[in-house]
Amino acid sequence: GENVEQHPSTLSVQEGDSAVIKCTYSDSASNYFPWYKQELGKGPQLIIDIRSNVGEKKDQRIAVTLNKTAKHFSLHITETQPEDSAVYFCAASGRNTGFQKLVFGTGTRLLVSP
Amino acid sequence: EPEVTQTPSHQVTQMGQEVILRCVPISNHLYFYWYRQILGQKVEFLVSFYNNEISEKSEIFDDQFSVERPDGSNFTLKIRSTKLEDSAMYFCASSAPGRGIDEQYFGPGTRLTVT
């Protein structure tokens, strides 16, 4: 089945810097790649997603890129702010995984210092 | 903004007891899911549910687990006889029909502690 790897496990940046989190997936049939932000004591919050027919998607300070050939996708956060501090999860789903089953990465704890 | 709600936020139970975790999905959503997250580990898929039946389930979702939509608003996960290893955060999620089916929105979770 699908396997999603995520790096790094922790990331510390200064406010205003950029942060990049990377994920790789194993199943070439996966076609949907969401990113979730989880703050302490809360459930995962969908922040951005990308489908396999698109290479890049942007929403204000966050962007996601997808390289289907290499089977990896990345989350980019620019001009980081302390409120960006959270755990970020990537996920994948597709025909072989089961369209409605998200397979998650292990998470990245992002700490943005003022 | 509509959101998924879950109750209780924390449930403590003894091994062998039955527990029911409750969720109210977003009102126009038709697809419902349960995931769990053991402390420090990945979020794992348990089951998806549509049109009053299970669409998919994982190998974790064995005979001890069941799901139900008892009325037009609630979606429940029942664990018949809890084990210590069932201790985890349980998240309910829902998604809309059509183009929104992929976009799963999660509730805040129920922390289940089995002693």
Q: What is the pLDDT of residue B93?
A: 96
Those residues whose C-beta lies under 8 Å from the C-beta of residue B40, and which sit 6 or more positions away, are: none
Contacts B41 to A, Cβ<8 Å = 106
Name the token pair of A19: 């942060």
Q: What are phi and psi of A84, to 5 degrees?
A: -80, -10
Q: What is the DSSP string of B18-40?
A: -EEEEEE--TT--EEEEEEE-TT
Sequential pLDDT tens for chain A (114 residues):
889 999 999 999 999 999 999 999 999 989 999 999 999 888 999 999 999 888 999 999 999 999 999 999 999 999 999 999 999 999 998 866 656 789 999 999 999 999
Q: How far is the C-alpha of A34 from the C-alpha of A50, rounded, in Å?
A: 6
Min Cα–Cα distance to chain B from A25, Å: 15
Length of chain B: 115
Contact A99/B at CB under 8 A: yes
Reported in sequence order, the residue ranges of chain A that DSSP labels E, i.e. its strands, are 4-7, 10-14, 19-25, 30-38, 45-51, 56-59, 62-67, 72-77, 86-94, 98-104, 108-113
Q: How far apart are CA B91 and CA A81, in angstroms?
A: 27
**What's the pLDDT score for residue B58?**
93
SS3 B85: helix
Q: Residue B8, preceding bond cis, omega within 30 degrees?
A: yes
Contacts of A105 in chain B (CB under 8 A): 42
Amino acid identity of residue B68, one-letter, is: E
Beta strands B10-13 and B110-114 are: parallel
Are the C-beta atoms of residues A65 and A55 closer than 8 Å to each other? yes
pLDDT at A96: 62
The confidence score (pLDDT) of residue B80 equals: 96
pLDDT band at B102 (very low <50, low <70, confident <90, very high): confident
In a mutagenesis test of the A interface, which of B3, B38, B45 is the best target, namely the one with the most A β-carbons within 10 Å? B45
What's the one-letter identity of residue A80? T
- pLDDT per residue over B4-41, tens digit each? 999 999 999 999 999 999 999 999 898 999 999 998 88
> Cβ B43–A104 below 8 Å, yes or no?
yes
Q: Is the pLDDT of residue B106 over 90?
A: yes
What distance in Å separates residue B65's CA from the closest CA in chain A?
A: 17
Beta bridge partner(s), residue A11 = A110
